[in-house]
Amino acid sequence: VIRVPAEDLMRLGTALFTALGAAEDKARFIAETIVEANLTGHDSHGVIYYLTYAERVKEGYIDPRAEPMVERETPTTAVINGCWGFGQLTAMKAMEVAVEKAERSHIAAVTAYRCNHVGRVGYYTAWAARRGFIAMMFLNVGHPIVTVYGGRGRVLGTNPLSIAIPTGGDPFLLDYATSIVAHGKVKQALLEGERIPRGWIRDREGRETDDPAALEAGGWLLPFGGHKGYCLQLVNELLGAALTGSRSGLDPEEGPPSTNGVFAIAVKPEFFIHPKVFEERCRMILDGVRRCEAEAGMRIMIPGEPEWETRRRRLREGIPIPEALRRSLIALAEELGVDEGLMEALMGKPKRGLSVGMDEES
Ligand SMILES: NC(=O)c1ccc[n+]([C@@H]2O[C@H](COP(=O)([O-])OP(=O)(O)OC[C@H]3O[C@@H](n4cnc5c(N)ncnc54)[C@H](O)[C@@H]3O)[C@@H](O)[C@H]2O)c1
C-alpha cells in the first residue's frame, strides 16, 4: 500500500477523464467526487472507479461529452435527462436544481433518468447540507445483484439512499446501500485478496460464504436490517425506477451497467424554524446522544462522523492505494498517454514537488 495525496489523485483523474473526452472542468469535478469517496473512507467508490468509468466510456455506455439537461420544470419540481453522460454530472445537476428551487420555494423535488452510476451519494446531499438545506436522495440501481427479504437469487440493485441535515459544523450524513454493504466493498475485498464477513452474501446455491469471488460467480448480496431494510430497498426501487422512468432491476434489458434512477428533495429549514434555533436543537440532541453511556468496546458516533474523521486524517496522511490498484491505474494512465509526472507519483517516485508516503494506514 502506498499513500498518495488527494490532490495528486485528483490531477490524475482530471487528466484521465480529459483524455477520455470530457471537458477539463467536468473531468476535474468527476475526479473530485471520486477522490472525496476515498477521503471519506469509502474506497469502494474511490479511484477504483477511474478504471470502471474508463471501460464504460470505451464500451460506449458513458458519453463523456454529454451534459444533463432540465427537460421539464415548475417552480418546485424538475425532470432531468442525464443523456447518458457521467452520472456525477447528472446527480450534481439534480441536487443543484433542487437547492435553487428550494431557496425560493422552501422545498423542491427533482427526478433524473438516463443517468449512469453517480458514485458516492453522500457527496451531493452533504454539498446541499453545507449550504443550509436538508437534502435527501433515493436511488435505484438497474443492475440486479441483491435478493429480497426471505428470497433467493438476484432481484434488485444495491439501491442506496442518503439524507443530510445541516446541524452546524459538519453535517449529519446518512449514506448507504440497502444491501448489507455496497457491491464495491465485495469487489474491493476480492481485489485485495481478503475474506468478507459471513452474512454479507450467499453463493449461487444460496449458501453462506466468506469468499468474495462467490458473488461474481452467480451469488447475491442480502438486504440489510431484515424486513425493515427490505422495505427501504423497495422504496428506492419504486421512487428510483418507477417515478423517474429509469430501468428497474426487474426489467429485461441489461445495458448500460449500474444505471441510477435518482429522486432528490431539498428542504430549507427557515420556513419551519429559525436556522440558528434548529442548529442549536440538533446540537443538543446529537451531543446528548454522544454522551450516552456506551456498551463495552463501543463508541457512540453520529452518522457522518466516521466520514469526516477519516477525511481529516487522509487529507493529512494521503490516500492508501493497494498495489494491484496502483498497477492498474498506471496501466490506464499509460494507455491514455497522461502526463509522466502524474504516473511517477503513483509509482512512488515523486517528481516536480509531488510527495508520496509509503507507510501503512494507521
Ligand atoms: N451509486 C450507487 O449506485 C451506489 C450504490 C450503493 C452504494 N453506493 C455508495 O456506497 C457507499 C458505501 O455504502 P455502504 O452501504 O457500504 O455504507 P456503510 O455500510 O459504510 O454505511 C455508511 C453510513 O453509515 C454511517 N455509519 C457508519 N458507522 C457508523 C457508526 N458507528 N455510527 C453511526 N453511523 C455510522 C456513516 O456515517 C454513513 O452514513 C455510500 O457512499 C453509498 O452512497 C452507491
Per residue in 209-242, pLDDT (tens digit) is 999 999 999 999 999 999 999 999 999 999 999 9
253 pLDDT band (50/70/90 cuts)? confident
Could you tell me the pTM of the whole model? 0.95
Per-residue confidence band for 247, with pLDDT thresholds at 50, 70 and 90: very high
Instruction: Reply yes or no on whether the pLDDT at 119 is more than 50.
Output: yes
Contact residues of ligand 1, CB 6 A cut-off: 42, 45, 117-122, 139, 141, 158, 160, 162, 173-177, 181-182, 185, 260, 301, 303-304, 306-307
Distance CA 17, CA 31 (A): 8
Expressed in angstroms and rounded, the spacing between residue 120 Cα and the centre of ligand 1 is 8
In the predicted model, what is the mean pLDDT of residues 189-199?
91
Is residue 337 very low, low, confident or very high in pLDDT (cuts 50, 70, 90)? very high
Q: Which of the residue ranges 76-80, 96-100, 353-357 would you say has the lowest mean pLDDT?
A: 353-357
- Best of 53, 120, 145, 176 to mutate for ligand 1, by most ligand atoms within 8 A of CB? 176
Q: What confidence score (pLDDT) does residue 353 get?
A: 39
Ligand 1, closest atom to CA 119?
1
What is the atom index within ligand 1 of the atom nearest the CA of 117?
1
**Ligand 1 atom 29: residue of nearest CA:** 303
CA of 186 to the centre of ligand 1 (A): 14
Convert the chain into a string of H (helix), E (strand) and C (coil). Answer: CEEECHHHHHHHHHHHHHHCCCCHHHHHHHHHHHHHHHHCCCHHHCCHHHHHHHHHHHCCCCCCCCCCEEEEECCCEEEEECCCCCHHHHHHHHHHHHHHHHHHHCEEEEEEECCCCCCCCHHHHHHHHHCCCEEEEEEEECCCCECCCCCCCCCECCCCEEEEECCCCCCEEEEECCECCCHHHHHHHHHCCCCCCCCCEECCCCCEECCCHHHHCCCEECECCHHHHHHHHHHHHHHHHHHCCCCCCCCCCCCCCCCEEEEEEEECHHHCCCHHHHHHHHHHHHHHHHHCCCCCCCCCCCCCHHHHHHHHHHHHHCEEECHHHHHHHHHHHHHHCCCHHHHHHHCCCCCCCCCCECCCCC
Is the C-alpha dihedral spanning 97, 133, 258, 43 positive or negative? positive
8 A C-beta contact, residue 142 and residue 249: yes
Give 348's pLDDT tier (boundaries 50, 70, 90). Answer: low
pLDDT score for 358: 36
In angstroms, what is the span from residue 175 Cα to ligand 1's centroid? 5
Ligand 1 centroid, distance to 181 Cα (angstroms): 8
Q: Is the pLDDT of residue 260 over 70?
A: yes
In this predicted structure, what is the pLDDT of residue 188? 86
